[in-house]
A and B are shown apart, each in its own frame.
Chain A
Amino acid sequence: MFKLLKNLIKEPMFVIGSVLFLTTILAGLFGPFLYVSMPEGATYEAPSATYLLGTDNLGQDYVALLLKGLQNSLYVGFMAGIIATTVGTLIGLFGGFKGGIVDDILNMFTNLFIVIPSFVVLVLVSASWPEGRSLTLIAVLIGLTTWPWTARSVRAQAASLRGRDHISLARINGATNLEIIFKHILPYLASYVFMVFIMQVASGILSESAISMIGLGPIGEGSTSLGVILNTAKNNSAITDGYWWGIFPAAIVITMIVFALYLLNNSMEGVFNPRLRK
């Protein structure tokens, strides 16, 4: 474990990725509580010493909005990531371990979900929910539409472990199927599942931004997300009138989180996969 960390720290990708990601996490967690937002100013005031990133169409301080948006986007990303990873991993593990008819059925189910474009489902469900779309609802929807890729890759890995001798030994030791799955297969896939989880968080944040951008994101008091900021700016002619501070900071923050997560994922692959180890 210690060696693993030592290897990770040598990796520049990991260092940059984790520093970026920790910064965003800390900013998202504590920023909204620590930052004292400026009183409302004029509409679309340009960045200045008082308003570091200017104000929006209602004269609200953009820094405060961004911190709150970051917090909510991370919440949606993590929630969606947890749901997608859990559902996908469980389905993949059972299918891959059981094989035969159970595997066929679960695989068919997974393929069915892969074939249906998840973004369209997301749009349709969100659109049919005109009121009270909370952050949690959006997160659950994203989680429930993005699990199939996890299921597929975990299934392949679990199936390759099924024929191993230590599984046969566990069986003649009298282990139950559940014990085999959680004690003898899951630990072997843990690093893999963790990497999948990171990717799911990144794609959760992106999906949320995308759906909010087209105006189907969370609505209601305090549910400003990074995508919602972009959407509000777009709706209030920030793009056409050249109020760049309405668009760029939010877009950069989204890019930064996702970039950091991709870096983390890539650097971990270099450590977990012995063939890529230096």
Chain B
Amino acid sequence: MRNNIVFSAKNISKFFGHGKKLVCAVDDISFDIADGEIVSIVGGSGCGKSVLAKIMLGLYAPDRGTFLYKGKPIVDTRDHWNEVQSVFQDPFGCFNQFFSIRTQLKDAFGILKNKPSKQEIEQRVDEALLAVNVKPSDIEGKYPFELSGGQMQRMLLARIFALKPKVLIADEPTSMVDACVRANILDYLMKLKESLGMTIVFVTHDIGLAYYVSDRIFIMHESKIVETGKPEEVTQHPKSAHTIRLLEDIPDINREWIKK
């Protein structure tokens, strides 16, 4: 069982600033994430969920505690990114505006240790584009500012389909797109899990979305994980006051939403 643990965090904390302005973004958090799991980290703005995602991705190192990937601390970030990749929140801000989309998708292969041949890269990019229902000819020679937000978010996912990492950290991939695209993106995430057996950490502020996709949900509030459990447990029998609040905030068509 222990071999199957992908991420293991023991009492990790992360601070920003210093002196009087010291801010604790992640406060004494411990958890394990198993191979092949989809774990959602749910919380409001500023609760530290994105920082936690960046720690998992190796962009930040925790200031206290131990954080292990497959039983080892993250030493070489390039090695780490060979296996752990990410989709970010803002699809428009994610691509360099000065290079075409296809060039940037091909650039992504730079991280792989066993870099495929040029031909294979082209082929894998084409396959990845088809996996997210985009015809390769549609984006040929196009620059990021020529695509819509939904298309851009799919390009980010295409990058994941092309690289085929073992773990995906999806940091609010659905927060900046409309409802239809949101459903699409969730479908693609499920496809990634099913076809590649990917472990997915899904960061979101929407407990409703988390309920549909995850095996387990972590509820974060004020830099701490306040509740963990299976989606049914968390949504049917919430223990923490904050979880109850998150559940109450799910939009409901049949309920009067804004109290007059």
Say whether A associates with B: yes
- Asked, given contacts A168-B88, A169-B88, A172-B86, whether A184 binds B59 with beta carbons under 8 Å apart, the answer is no
How far apart are A163's CB and chain B's nearest CB, in angstroms? Answer: 10
A165 to B96, alpha carbons, bound, how many Å? 9
Residues of B within 8 A of A170 (CB): 96
Asked if B107 is at the interface (CB within 8 A of a chain A CB), the reply is yes
Chain B residue at minimum C-beta to C-beta distance from A180: B96
* Interface contact B108-A173, CB-CB below 8 Å: yes
Q: Name the one of B59, B95, B98 contacting A187, with C-beta atoms under 8 angstroms.
A: B98
Chain B residue at minimum C-beta to C-beta distance from A186: B98
Asked if B136 is at the interface (CB within 8 A of a chain A CB), the reply is no
* Residues 171-191 of chain A, each 1 if its beta carbon lies under 8 Å from chain B, else 0: 111110000000110011000
Asked if B116 is at the interface (CB within 8 A of a chain A CB), the reply is no
A175 to B81, alpha carbons, bound, how many Å? 11
* Interface contact B96-A183, CB-CB below 8 Å: yes
- Asked, given contacts A173-B107, A173-B110, whether A165 binds B90 with beta carbons under 8 Å apart, the answer is yes
* Interface contact B111-A172, CB-CB below 8 Å: yes
* Interface contact A172-B81, CB-CB below 8 Å: yes
* Interface contact B94-A166, CB-CB below 8 Å: yes
Interface residues of B (CB under 8 A from A): 57, 59, 77-78, 81, 85-86, 88-90, 93-99, 104, 107-108, 110-112
Asked if A10 is at the interface (CB within 8 A of a chain B CB), the reply is no
* Residues 47-78 of chain A, each 1 if its beta carbon lies under 8 Å from chain B, else 0: 00000000000000000000000000000000
Chain A residue at minimum C-beta to C-beta distance from B58: A172
Q: List 10 A-B contacts (CB under 8 A).
A: A168-B88, A171-B59, A172-B57, A172-B59, A172-B86, A173-B107, A174-B81, A174-B111, A183-B99, A187-B98
Asked if A275 is at the interface (CB within 8 A of a chain B CB), the reply is no
Q: Which 10 A-B pairs have the closest CB atoms?
A: A174-B111, A174-B110, A187-B98, A165-B93, A165-B88, A165-B94, A172-B81, A173-B108, A169-B94, A166-B96
Asked if A164 is at the interface (CB within 8 A of a chain B CB), the reply is yes
How far apart are A108's CB and chain B's nearest CB, in angstroms? Answer: 18
How far apart are B50's CB and chain A's nearest CB, in angstroms? Answer: 11
Q: How many residues of A contact B (CB 8 A)?
A: 15
Residues of B within 8 A of A171 (CB): 59, 77, 81
Residues of B within 8 A of A168 (CB): 59, 86, 88
Q: Name the one of A169, A174, A183 contacting B95, with C-beta atoms under 8 angstroms.
A: A169
A169 to B86, alpha carbons, bound, how many Å? 8
Q: Name the one of A164, A172, A174, A187 contacting B93, with C-beta atoms under 8 angstroms.
A: A164
A167 to B88, alpha carbons, bound, how many Å? 11
Q: Which of A168, A174, A175, A184 has the most CB of B within 10 A?
A: A174
- Asked, given contacts A172-B57, A173-B111, whether A166 binds B81 with beta carbons under 8 Å apart, the answer is no
How far apart are A168's CB and chain B's nearest CB, in angstroms? Answer: 6
How far apart are A225's CB and chain B's nearest CB, in angstroms? Answer: 39
A168 to B159, alpha carbons, bound, how many Å? 14
Residues of A within 8 A of B86 (CB): 168, 172
* Interface contact B78-A174, CB-CB below 8 Å: yes
* Interface contact A165-B110, CB-CB below 8 Å: no
Residues of A within 8 A of B110 (CB): 173-175
* Interface contact A165-B81, CB-CB below 8 Å: no
Residues of B within 8 A of A169 (CB): 88, 94-95
Q: Name the one of B89, B98, B107 contacting A165, with C-beta atoms under 8 angstroms.
A: B89
A164 to B99, alpha carbons, bound, how many Å? 16
Which of A184-240 touch B at CB < 8 Å?
Answer: 184, 187-188
Residues of B within 8 A of A187 (CB): 96-98
Chain A residue at minimum C-beta to C-beta distance from B94: A165
* Interface contact B95-A166, CB-CB below 8 Å: yes
A175 to B99, alpha carbons, bound, how many Å? 14
* Residues 153-166 of chain A, each 1 if its beta carbon lies under 8 Å from chain B, else 0: 00000000000111
A162 to B99, alpha carbons, bound, how many Å? 18
A244 to B18, alpha carbons, bound, how many Å? 63
Known: A166-B95, A175-B110, A188-B98. 18 other contacts (CB 8 A): A164-B93, A165-B88, A165-B89, A166-B93, A166-B94, A168-B88, A169-B88, A172-B57, A173-B104, A174-B78, A174-B81, A174-B110, A175-B107, A183-B96, A183-B98, A187-B96, A187-B97, A188-B97
A188 to B108, alpha carbons, bound, how many Å? 20
Residues of A within 8 A of B57 (CB): 172
Q: Which of B57, B85, B108 has the most CB of A within 10 A?
A: B108
A184 to B95, alpha carbons, bound, how many Å? 9
A178 to B249, alpha carbons, bound, how many Å? 46
Q: Which of B57, B95, B107 has the most CB of A within 10 A?
A: B107
